[in-house]
Amino acid sequence: MIDVFYLFRETPARRDMLMKILSGQGSGLAGEQLFGFDRLLHKWRVDSNLCFPRHSIFFDQIISLFDRTYSVRAGAGLGDIGAIFSNLKRINRARVVLATSDNTGLAAIRLKKWGLITSPLIYVSVGLPERLKAVASLSLARVDRYRQRLYGVDKILAYGYAEAEWLHTWLGGEVDVQFLPFGVDTEKWTPFHYSGLDEIDVLSIGADEMRDFSLLVEYGRKHPDIRVTLVTTESCSKSLGHVPSNIKILRDLPIDELRILISKARLVVLPVKENSYSGATTTMLQCMAMAKAVTVSRVGAISKGYDLEDGTNIIWMEPGSYRSLENVVDSLLVNNEICKRIGDGARHHVVKHLNWNLYVSRLEQYLTQWVYIQNP
């Protein structure tokens, strides 16, 4: 019997990290990508879809081909059905299944509705309201089918406060929906001084589609004397077009090098479009844990639930507003004392309220409903 079966989004980096964990090595700086697997592994019988190779590459290719057509027509993809079919016997031997992303969660709720998954299912929603709105623009009937599938889920967790509220209302209270604040390892993400790199005035990091980097590019264009470093992906950087010479774009940077960049930044600026699930949350918490002054857009995902206080441990910007970004950045860059005070407050807040031990402990409380009832 397996206590908890994790359904992860498949990436080479995550699979490699998991293999290192299973061989007795540490998770490194990116341990948050395992969502507590490495911690619970020492307490319960924990398994995942990444512990063994996928069975059928041909099956994955067929599903991927179909999914590309389906997602355009339906507004949302099928999810990683192959990850579940490859592990279905082990999944159904688990006391509870934890789908850690919509990529695996969308597939899991479909197969649970069909009766192929019989174990209790916890679905971690990361942007589901936005996906459902895209589906609704094409077909209201499909939206209702998603609702019917979600009625079969045993619990839904969300890292965005607004996302949890939206899902609770949309599902009419028929499913247990809980807001789960994310966290970071404050023993790994600590303040330190690195003298081998020139100081950065403004640092911004991110890759998800809710980042509003166009505001930062506009700021760099209007302030050619400010040194801006933007860390993102190749595809995201291409969408920005031409950027001024004072903006340095670094692509797909290893996390160890990213930590060095954070240490040399005077100010971390995280512009985000209004949404329910992403407030640059992981990056924000990592930078706060390193005692950096962080300014981030006040979006629904983080405006409540994380107890962020403007001027104490964070500086809010208004989402989508260039004027707000410019005013905040200009005022902070000329006042190192305020930056230090906010950075110190940020570190204190994350260590006390948003550290990784707390995140894993909160997650464990939700899982024990099934693990200990059946395994006292």
Q: Where are the domains of the chain?
A: 2-183+356-374, 200-353
Q: What is the DSSP letter of 138?
A: T
- Rounded CA separation 121/114 (Å): 13
What count of Cα atoms within 13 Å lies in the side-chain half-sphere of residue 172? 6
Task: Check if 2-183+356-374 and 200-353 are the same fold.
Answer: yes
Q: Is the model's pTM score more than 0.85? A: yes
Q: How long is the chain? A: 376
Which architecture, in CATH terms, is 200-353? 3-Layer(aba) Sandwich (3.40)
Q: Residue 311, exposed/middle/buried by CB under 10 A (0-12, 13-18, 19+)?
A: exposed
Q: How confident is the model at residue 284, as a pLDDT?
A: 98
Burial 24-62 (b: 16+ CB within 10 A, else e): eeebebbbbbbbbbbbbbeebbbbbbbbeebeeeeebee
CA-CA-CA-CA torsion sign (62, 64, 70, 76): positive
Which architecture, in CATH terms, is 2-183+356-374? 3-Layer(aba) Sandwich (3.40)
Q: 260: which residues sit within 8 A by CB, 6+ positions away?
A: 194, 197
Q: How confident is the model at residue 56, as a pLDDT?
A: 64
**Whole-number CA gyration radius for the chain:** 21
How many Cβ atoms sit within 10 Å of the Cβ of residue 358?
A: 16
- Rounded CA separation 308/67 (Å): 39
pLDDT below 70 — which residues of the chain? 55-78, 194-197, 373-376
